[in-house]
Structure 1
């Protein structure tokens, strides 16, 4: 299932919501606030993050090295959160939460932008595959619920007891922050930089809409993010457009390059269904 989902453009649209859920944990938010370059190099940071997530699913042996690299990278990330509590990026519970957000994120994105919600069997398979990805990242089975039935009480407990509107969450949904233009030397990039000040406000509004809208409603409520009935109607319209348009796209537009190369190498058809894939 992840070979169908993780490299598709719909997964990219859902990434900001998953990231906001991650940094809503005070320890994760503090680590990103203190150590990430997302403010000074947002484009580079985004590109590296997407490339890393693609390796987890499509990288084969390279996925294992990427998991080791990420653990080395996070080994020395520690500090004190906004409540004065010490944090450590590789604390098992914290590291597991970052990974755990992917499952409800995929599930809700499918409800909004997919042809239909996942069946119960598909949810079980997706969760099992997500656990496998967690093992690639070095997450011990003891630190993640091992079944869907165990996952939801764990997830609701974190929402109830731990997550909040951290500084980083507020920045991710803000429409009043400075965003540098994308780097590049091509002629069209120079033109883009000329009009960039006019493009930033609508881009930030779109980011806020997708970040909050594609977040599972229970997480959105737990963090305290405002979402109106009018916005929900707009999200449903957006979802209907996406679920019609994306399946019609050629593979070079529907899937990210790494996913496209891996799928071609293994002869995965873009038209095959989730259900048929789940039987293989």
Structure 2
């Protein structure tokens, strides 16, 4: 696969945009399980993850790598496009047969675009619980920024709907024609799937977690299921066949009230993930330098 020259590389979303604020905020971590589950509800994507991913044997490492990759798309600057090329190289050999007996390739535009597309409806839905309902202007801006990230990942303009008006019919058609409760979906929402304890961090902490893991895992698994289903758009939830009760909805709204009150009050070092913090710090420094350079001399 050929790579573009740096001057031709697509640019990440701009500082100050919706994604600039959202992607690095710790509230984004709560949205990721729903987005991942909606991705793998597509038979081709689910089969690819089932057969080629290490999410069962190294869930924490895979999660860490995926999170860093996502941060680079938005905050990576010149490194964003190279991360997109790396992902395409990584997926170039992923192929097989899905649950409907159809051959698939990870980089087939319909499959690759769906993986990227799922983040938009999940973030759009979850934002109203964890931040605030998006305005029409924010919705359009978020989608435009989502398309910019798609170009970083190597998607062509024709691979994704060009406007928000075109996106929702596309999304609903995939839900109607393709989405199902794949084996990976069932694992991701199960509360009894075996998950090893975290293997990152200081040795004493890892040893403590290993000792307490049989006690910690069941409530963590239930909370993961609750967030995964609750922060998934209702039409996607219905297409997969995931149940959601009125009591659960009320609990999610209560959780949202707490999150909306607590997270904005946190200092930046706690509210934003490391790459986002560094990018925000560098952006402020550039703005100060620009301000000094353009200030009239006395």
Q: TM-score range by the shorter chain?
A: over 0.9
Structure 1 residue 188: Cα displacement: 2.1
* Residues 95-174 of structure 1 aligned to structure 2 (within 5 Å): 95-114=112-131, 116-174=132-190
Structure 2 residue 282 is matched with structure 1 residue 265: yes
* Residues 1-280 of structure 1 aligned to structure 2 (within 5 Å): 1-114=18-131, 116-184=132-200, 185-267=202-284
Secondary structure, aligned partner of 1:79: strand
Give the alignment's TM-score, normalised by structure 1.
0.94
Secondary structure, aligned partner of 1:219: helix
- Paired with 1:188 and 1:113, the residues of 2 have a C-alpha distance of 29
- Paired with 1:239 and 1:191, the residues of 2 have a C-alpha distance of 30
Secondary structure, aligned partner of 1:226: coil
- Write out per-residue CA displacement over residues 225-268 of structure 1, whole angstroms, 9 at most, x where no aligned residue: 01111111111111111111110011111110000100110019
- Paired with 1:188 and 1:29, the residues of 2 have a C-alpha distance of 33
- Paired with 1:240 and 1:219, the residues of 2 have a C-alpha distance of 24
Secondary structure, aligned partner of 1:267: helix
The 4+ residue runs of structure 1 with deviation greater than 6 A are none
- Paired with 1:19 and 1:190, the residues of 2 have a C-alpha distance of 29
Give the alignment's TM-score, normalised by structure 2.
0.88
- Paired with 1:172 and 1:191, the residues of 2 have a C-alpha distance of 25
Secondary structure, aligned partner of 2:93: coil
Q: Which moved more, 1:186-195 or 1:47-56?
A: 186-195
- Paired with 2:149 and 2:28, the residues of 1 have a C-alpha distance of 16
Give the number of aligned pairs: 267
Cα root mean square deviation, aligned = 0.9
Structure 1 residue 216: Cα displacement: 0.7
Contiguous gaps of at least 5 residues in structure 1: 269-280
Structure 1 residue 79: Cα displacement: 0.1
